[in-house]
Structure 1
Amino acid sequence: MNIPLRVALIVCSVAILFFVMRRIRKSSLEIDDSVFWLVIAAALIVVAVFPQIAYWVSDLLGFQAPVNFVFACGIVVLLVRTFKQDQKIAVLKKKLVALAQHEALREDNSTQS
């Protein structure tokens, strides 16, 4: 893994740490979300500091270059994260519809009285 990629990984992880800590201080990020991003930042730092891990795993899984392995892992992690967020959004949509229906029924009952 070349030096510019290692530097980019470290810079990205430090930026993630900075933004997550800022959001935690402002209480605008949930704990499970902040833990996810902190783990991602830590993983980026580990891979940047110890590139042998990326070489070993990329050889083990058949990637031609460790860079491809790093990018593929990033894509997979973000796809899983997106899927989980979609699940949360679906649950919230159902709750919103139920709440709107409940409120509409309550308003209808109060106007009939």
Structure 2
Amino acid sequence: MQSTLKMVLVVILVIYLFIISKSVKHKNMRINYLIFWSIAGILLIIALLAPNFIENISKTFGFELPINMIFSCAIFVILYLIFDLTRLITKEQNKNVMLIQEISMLKQRIEKIEKEGNKNEGI
């Protein structure tokens, strides 16, 4: 890869890391996802600056080609993210069910109090 292309990609990745850090500051992203995306960005910078590093790691783990290791890692990371997001969605759905139940109970109490108030006014 040409050195100018490498430098452009490194600059883009540094901007990417900056944007991610700003997202947490503005509470658009949770800290655990910040750590995940920051590590991903740093690993990409390392892969750009030291391509032999990826080749050595892939050979160590028994992959024939470095791209096979990269795709395998990407698949496992995506599966983890899907699992984590599914867990968060389930947690939020459970909160919604609890809130709906509390609201319906409060509505029943309000209606009961209003009926009792109307009966007392009629006396």
Larger displacement relative to structure 2 (24-33 or 11-20): 11-20
Identity %: 25
What displacement does 1:80 show?
0.7
2:96 aligned residue: 96
1:27 aligned residue: 27
Larger displacement relative to structure 2 (19-28 or 61-70): 19-28
1:62 aligned residue: 62
Larger displacement relative to structure 2 (51-60 or 99-108): 51-60
1:45 aligned residue: 45
- 1:26-64: CA deviations, max 9, x gaps? 332222221221111111112222222211221122222
| TM-score, scaled to structure 2 | 0.73
| Distance in 2 separating the partners of 1:79 and 1:11 | 29
| Distance in 1 separating the partners of 2:90 and 2:45 | 34
2:120 aligned residue: none
Relative contact order, CA 8 A, sep 6+: which one is greater? 1
Aligned 8 A contact 1:20 1:37 in 2: yes
| TM-score, scaled to structure 1 | 0.78
Unaligned 5+ segments in structure 2 are 114-123
